[in-house]
Amino acid sequence: MNSEEMLRRTIAKFVDNEIIPVANDLDEKETFPRDLFKRLAGMGLYSIRYPKEAGGSAADNTHFCIMCEELARGSMSVAAFTAMQCLMGTDFLFKYGTPELRERYWRPAMRGEKVAAFCLTEPGGGTDLAAVTTTARKSADDVVITGYKTWVTNGPVADFYTVLCQTDRSKGPKGFGFFFVPRDTPGVVVTRKFSKMGTRATEISEVIFRDAHVPREHQFGPDGSGAALLNSKLEEIRVMTAALSLGLARAAFDASLRYANEREAFGRPIGKYQAIQMKLATMATEIEASRLMIYDCTRRMDRGIPAMKEASMAKYFASEAACRAADECTRIFGAYAYSNEYPASRFYRDTRFLLYGGGTSEILQVIIAKELGL
């Protein structure tokens, strides 16, 4: 068995035994499951992408996406907070943080002792990042952060935030910078968690920075490097979100297939009717297409080949396919899909998250068109 199969088996076993049985409960409680968060750290999942010298597993994009896919098959909430802890919540801290910050925050985050969050989106918009208004003003000895971030995954439970700020408004996106802000910094205000449609075991809130002072060493990268840092992660973010989509589509398909074999109408299992068979055939085909696109993309990335078009296509296709799969699942389950006792409702609600994270479908189509030279 190769390392990809071994990883898939290990995560799948944990998901089948420890996550799927509690996924609906987690969703109902609408609370960040701290115990589970710590257990995933114990399995070394948060450090999976980081180098071995730092205590990680040096997983490439293919291995990382396998992990994300399997977790999302169990619970999109769990997959979402894990992905945040592995990638955007901690990546810049690891790469550009001072050795002291890494010891105080990154290492405990890998052990599941601190929770990470990433703040880009503002009430004025998420897609148009050029409109970011949060500012970082430099004084002689520190940086003062002022602004308003919203839709912050892990916001209510996070110990630290990686925050996109404008350092020089006259330069537009060339004046962007990322800053590290610990939650206990005076001036950091975390609002109440949102009441939301899906990924309900992931807590989300606004985070407000009211003249929050941080040391100058809390800037990640040189002045004006924010847009370049973000762009350097877009392929990874998109293909990861595609993998989350694939996991959820598989969960919807598996549940639908089981139900189609069990549920009888007019004296036969509903899976014997062509109308239901066609739904399942389409779901299976789109799942296979998503899988091929995602792992073709990760293998390119793992060989160092640029893959912005492929990652955008994979995210666009797989997230829309997951929405269609969850929609069909709610039809196959009939009225039982409407009850939160069955997972079909959770799948349907959770898919909507996939439409926004990692770029909306509309914006991905714009990017794909640009890659086509239009």
Ligand X SMILES: Cc1cc2nc3c(=O)[nH]c(=O)nc-3n(C[C@H](O)[C@H](O)[C@H](O)COP(=O)(O)OP(=O)(O)OC[C@H]3O[C@@H](n4cnc5c(N)ncnc54)[C@H](O)[C@@H]3O)c2cc1C
**Residue type, position 81, single letter:** F
| Closest to ligand X by CB, 88 or 280 | 88
**Residue 245 is a binding residue for ligand X (CB under 6 A):** no
Residue 286 class from Cβ within 10 Å (0-12 exposed, 13-18 middle, 19+ buried)?
buried
Out of 199, 225, 241, 330, name the contact with ligand X by CB under 6 A: 199
| Residue nearest ligand X, CB atom distance | 126
**Residue 209 is a binding residue for ligand X (CB under 6 A):** no
**Residue 161 is a binding residue for ligand X (CB under 6 A):** no
- Residue environment code for 185-197, b if the CB has 16+ CB neighbours within 10 A, otherwise e: beebebeebbeee
Q: Evaluate the CA torsion angle 119, 125, 130, 132 in order and state its sign.
A: negative
Decide if 204 contacts 81 (C-beta within 8 A).
Answer: no
Out of 20, 208, 363, 368, name the contact with ligand X by CB under 6 A: 363
DSSP state string for 182-225: ETTSTTEEE-PPPP-SS-TTS-EEEEEEEEEEEEGGGEESSTT-
Distances (CA, A) of 216 to 94, 220, 238: 17, 10, 31
Q: Evaluate the CA torsion angle 321, 323, 324, 330 in order and state its sign.
A: positive
Out of 16, 217, 362, 371, name the contact with ligand X by CB under 6 A: 362
| Closest to ligand X by CB, 118 or 253 | 118
List all residues 6 or more positions away from 284 whose beta carbon is below 8 Å from its beta carbon.
Answer: 253
**Residue 347 is a binding residue for ligand X (CB under 6 A):** no
| Closest to ligand X by CB, 7 or 239 | 239
**Residue 366 is a binding residue for ligand X (CB under 6 A):** yes
Out of 47, 90, 121, 162, name the contact with ligand X by CB under 6 A: 121
Out of 96, 118, 295, 347, name the contact with ligand X by CB under 6 A: 118
| Closest to ligand X by CB, 13 or 370 | 370
Decide if 134 contacts 163 (C-beta within 8 A).
Answer: yes
| Closest to ligand X by CB, 207 or 329 | 207
CA–CA gap between residue 316 and residue 153 (Å, rounded): 21
Residue 146 class from Cβ within 10 Å (0-12 exposed, 13-18 middle, 19+ buried)?
middle
| Closest to ligand X by CB, 46 or 353 | 353
| Closest to ligand X by CB, 232 or 360 | 360
Shortest Cβ 257–ligand X spacing (Å): 28
Out of 57, 82, 85, 153, name the contact with ligand X by CB under 6 A: 153
Out of 46, 78, 353, 367, name the contact with ligand X by CB under 6 A: 353
Strand stretches in the chain, DSSP E: 116-119, 135-138, 142-153, 160-166, 176-182, 188-190, 204-215, 219-220, 264-265, 268-269
Which of 352, 125, 94, 112 is closest to 241 using CA atoms?
352
Shortest Cβ 234–ligand X spacing (Å): 12
Shortest Cβ 114–ligand X spacing (Å): 16
Number of residues in contact with ligand X, rule: CB under 6 A? 20
**Residue 204 is a binding residue for ligand X (CB under 6 A):** yes
Element (H, E) at 366: helix 361-371
Site string for ligand X, 75-114 (x = CB under 6 A): ----------------------------------------
Out of 44, 56, 108, 126, name the contact with ligand X by CB under 6 A: 126
Out of 74, 226, 271, 357, name the contact with ligand X by CB under 6 A: 357
Q: Quick one: tokens of 359?
A: 């770029």
Out of 98, 127, 231, 277, name the contact with ligand X by CB under 6 A: 127
Out of 65, 120, 294, 329, name the contact with ligand X by CB under 6 A: 120
Stretch that binds ligand X, among 123-131, 219-227, 233-241, 282-290 (CB under 6 A): 123-131
CA–CA gap between residue 279 and residue 343 (Å, rounded): 18
CA–CA gap between residue 115 and residue 155 (Å, rounded): 9
**Residue 220 is a binding residue for ligand X (CB under 6 A):** no
Which residues are at the interface with ligand X (CB under 6 A)? 118-121, 125-128, 151-153, 199, 204, 353, 356-357, 360, 362-363, 366
